[in-house]
Amino acid sequence: MPVGTVKYYLREGLLPAGTPTSATQAQYGEEHVERLALIRVLVGTGGLTVAAARAALQMIDAPAPSIHEVIGTAHQAIGPEVTAEPEALDRARSLVEAQGWQVACDSPALAQLAAALDACDAVGIPGMERLVGRYAAVAEQLAAFDVAAVPTTSPADAVRFVVAGTVLLEPLLLALRRLAQQDASFRRFEGPDVTPG
Amino acid sequence: MPVGTVKYYLREGLLPAGTPTSATQAQYGEEHVERLALIRVLVGTGGLTVAAARAALQMIDAPAPSIHEVIGTAHQAIGPEVTAEPEALDRARSLVEAQGWQVACDSPALAQLAAALDACDAVGIPGMERLVGRYAAVAEQLAAFDVAAVPTTSPADAVRFVVAGTVLLEPLLLALRRLAQQDASFRRFEGPDVTPG
DNA sequence: TGACATTGGATAGTGTCACCGTCCAATATT
DNA sequence: AATATTGGACGGTGACACTATCCAATGTCA
């Protein structure tokens, strides 16, 4: 990892300064190395901006007492900032309500859902209602795994898991979906029989 | 939509030029408006770069005969370019094999999966094996919906659906997962009883 | 002890990306 | 004929994640 990048992360407050031993020297420990790995992963694989990564790391440094709160704050810090029309938000809210989900009515994920629905409408994806229902059912399964996997050993562990998991399992999920799509399309369109010709 | 942006898309080859009626005039039709909406959605909500969007649109303009091929090419065009170590790639491949999935052995989604797995390792997410297996099962469900929903009315419709669906259903899925997480964490951590205190 | 390399800190520069502003000449419009 | 609009070319802008340069102070080694 380039030195300049480390300095940049120090400057941006992602990486805490070492304990200074003199005017031009500071001591860094194992914790700093782990922190750097976490930053690289959040910014690199997770695709977070450094601002979002800073917010995420601050949550890890100062864990909120309630894990439910942590998840909400993590979503706030991590998710892309999306603005949606009020009526689109209402649609998203009613969809969530139809699923029987309890979510904060000002959650940024609602705006993200609203924007995604609007986008699908704009290009006219056929059979969206059915698809959304099934996606919601699947999302519920995923969330059950995620939340069940949150360690209860200590608040710090829980926060770290929530932040890292929320960010890192997204690319994992998308990659798996793509691979599964390739398999499914192979089964459906290439089939067991060779393409005639 | 600002005029400058439209000009930019024209310059970048995302939007085909209108039929010129004179040296300083050109005719645009409904198709161009639809195209603009598609572009906005791909680069806005879908988060594609203009280069990726151009590749995606080129697929729509010149549909490959086989839909399976289209999906592969779409993943190539749309997905982030990720490089992974050979051993990480092998791990991803063996995971895919364990699922019984048939995928092209050079699919970019494999590199994405490998990178995601490496990232999870780097920060030490506990219980990854179980989680990955469950995520894979869920991804299989999703892919089944997706592929079953591909219209067979015409190759053009199919390609359009695949490209738009691949891109747009990702933010939808992520938003739904976040909302479902909030609900699940509410149920687990806030519970039916009010926090004592 | 003295030459040299390294470090921390500050500052400014780089490359990329999506987009926006400006200009000009040619054409519509009134 | 006067004015407005358009297409096209070109350069500028702001955000972002770095990256290079400089300097003074310190560490290291002969």
Distance, in angstroms, between A23 CA and closest chain B CA?
32
**Whether residues A73 and A133 fall in one domain:** yes
B38 CA to C15 C1' in angstroms comes to: 29
Which residue, B78, B79, B33, is CA-closest to B55? B78
The answer to whether residues A72 and A110 belong to one domain is yes
Q: Are residues A75 and A119 in the same domain?
A: yes
Same domain for B132 and B101, yes or no, is yes
Question: For B13-32, what is the mean pLDDT?
Answer: 90
Is B56 in contact with B13 (CB distance < 8 Å)? Answer: no
Are B76 and B17 in a shared domain? no
Residue B95 placed within a domain: yes
Q: Which residues of A touch B47 (CB under 8 A)?
A: 80
Residue B179 within any structural domain of the chain: no
- Give the per-residue pLDDT at A196: 46
A132 Cα to chain B: minimum distance (Å): 8
How sure is the predictor about B24, in pLDDT bands with cuts at 50, 70 and 90? confident
Of residues A1 and A194, more confidence is placed in A1
- Structural domain including B12 reads 1-62
Name B184's Cβ contacts closer than 8 Å, sequence gap at least 6. A140, A143, A144, A146, A147
Whether residue B73 is contained in a domain is answered as yes
Model confidence band, residue B193 (pLDDT cutoffs 50, 70, 90) = low
Q: Is the pLDDT of residue A172 over 70?
A: yes
CA–CA gap between residue B72 and residue B36 (Å, rounded): 25
**DSSP secondary structure string, B96-108?**
HHHTT----TT-H
Is residue A112 a part of any domain in this protein? yes
Q: Say how far B132 CA is from C20 C1', in Å.
A: 45
Indicate whether B176 belongs to any domain: no
- B169 assigned to some structural domain: no
Q: How many CB pairs below 8 Å do chains A and B form together?
A: 294
pLDDT at A194 over 60: no
Question: What is the predicted pLDDT for the residue at B196?
Answer: 46
Shared domain for A113 and A145, answered yes or no, is: yes
Question: What's the mean per-residue pLDDT of chain A?
Answer: 93
Out of A66, A102, A109, the one facing B175 most closely (by C-beta) is A109
Question: In A, which residues are within 8 Å of B88 by CB distance?
Answer: none
Last residue of a domain, one of B16, B45, B62: B62
A89 and A34 fall within a common domain: no
- Rounded Cα distance, A45 and B116, in Å: 7
Give a yes or no: residue A195 inside a domain: no
Instruction: Tell whether the model's pLDDT for residue A195 goes beyond 70.
Output: no
* Pair A94, A53 in one domain: no
Kindly determine whether residue B143 and residue A183, on different chains, have CB atoms separated by under 8 Å. Answer: yes
Distance from C-alpha of B88 to C-alpha of B170, rounded to nearest angstrom: 24
Q: Using the beta-carbon criterion (under 8 Å), do B177 and A139 form an inter-chain contact?
A: yes
**Torsion sign over Cα B113, B70, B38, A97:** negative
Examine the domain organization and report whether B132 and B92 are in the same domain: yes
Tally of structural domains, chain A:
2
Residue B190: burial class (beta carbons within 10 Å; 0-12, 13-18, 19+) = middle
- Using the structure, give the distance in angstroms from the CA atom of B10 to the C1' atom of C24, rounded to a whole number: 19
Residues A44 and A102 in one domain: no
Position A55 pLDDT exceeds 60: yes
The mean per-residue pLDDT over the stretch B28-53 comes to 95
Q: Which of A66, A101, A178 shows the shortest C-beta gap to B179?
A: A101
Is the C-beta of residue A26 closer than 7 Å to nucleic acid chain C?
Answer: yes
Residue type, B194: V
Phi, then psi, of B100 in degrees rounded to 5:
75, 25
Contacts of B21 (CB under 8 A, 6+ apart): B27
Chain B residues with CB inside 8 Å of A168's CB?
A: 116, 119-120, 123, 125
Residue A68 has pLDDT above 90, yes or no: yes
What is A49-63 written as a DSSP string?
A: -HHHHHHHHHHHHS-
Rounded CA–C1' distance between A65 and C18, in angstroms: 41
Interchain contact, A104 vs B182, CB within 8 Å = yes
Measure in Å the smallest separation between the Cα of A46 and chain B Cα atoms: 8
Task: Scan for tokens 């000002």, then name that residue.
Answer: A106
Q: Is the model's pLDDT at B197 over the cut of 70?
A: no
Same domain, B35 and B51: yes
For residue B133, count CB atoms less than 10 angstroms from its CB and return exposed for 0-12, middle for 13-18, buried for 19 or more: middle
Domain boundary among B21, B44, B62: B62
Q: Is residue A157 part of a domain?
A: no
Taking all residues of chain B, what is their mean pLDDT, rounded to a whole number?
93
Residues B11 and B83 in one domain: no
Q: Round to whole Å and give the CA distance between B38 and B44.
A: 10
